[in-house]
Homo-oligomer: A and B are copies of this chain.
Amino acid sequence: MDRNALAIRIRDAGFRATKPRLLLLSHLYKSKSPQSIAEIAAALKTSVNQVTVYRIVDTFKKAGLVRELDLRQGRPRYELADLNHHHHVICVKCGRIEKFTGCESKRITQKALTQTKGFGQITSHSLEFFGLCNSCIKRGHHIPVS
């Protein structure tokens, strides 16, 4: 995605297309896995202050451009919200992350709404799988299923 298209996306969301925002959005488009604040800040180190990274991510999250994920690694990770709907599998040993699709959210959302008498609307969901990647299994790691 070129600089101009990024600027348009940012302006469409109601913000000024500043250099830090362009760089951050560009970085997320280039990333194959969800990024932590520290990773984003490191990638943009020479051009963007880490406090600004916090602020932009927060802004983009509230605007719906960016989604926050908890992959049980202590701090959140962020990815673009406009990608095809997907979820992740995370290796609990080495942190490797892969995507998968097909969460059947409609069916499960319906179940959730049927069972929870106090709720009338579901707006989003989180779903992540945790396990062991093949190379960690080869290295002899094993984790009891819970």
Contact = CB atoms under 8 A, between A and B. Distances in A.
Contacts of A128: 125-126
A144 B125 contact: no
Given A102-B111, A111-B102, A146-B81, A89 B122 contact: yes
Contacts of A125: 127-130
A115 to B, nearest CB: 4
Interface residues of A, number: 49
B109 A129 contact: yes
A58 B16 CA distance: 44
Interface in A72-109: 72, 81, 87, 89, 91-92, 96, 98-104, 107-109
A118 B134 contact: yes
B146 A131 contact: no
Interface of A: 64, 67-68, 70, 72, 81, 87, 89, 91-92, 96, 98-104, 107-109, 111-112, 115-135, 137, 143-146
11 contacts: A70-B70, A87-B112, A89-B112, A98-B119, A100-B112, A101-B115, A120-B132, A123-B143, A125-B130, A126-B126, A126-B128
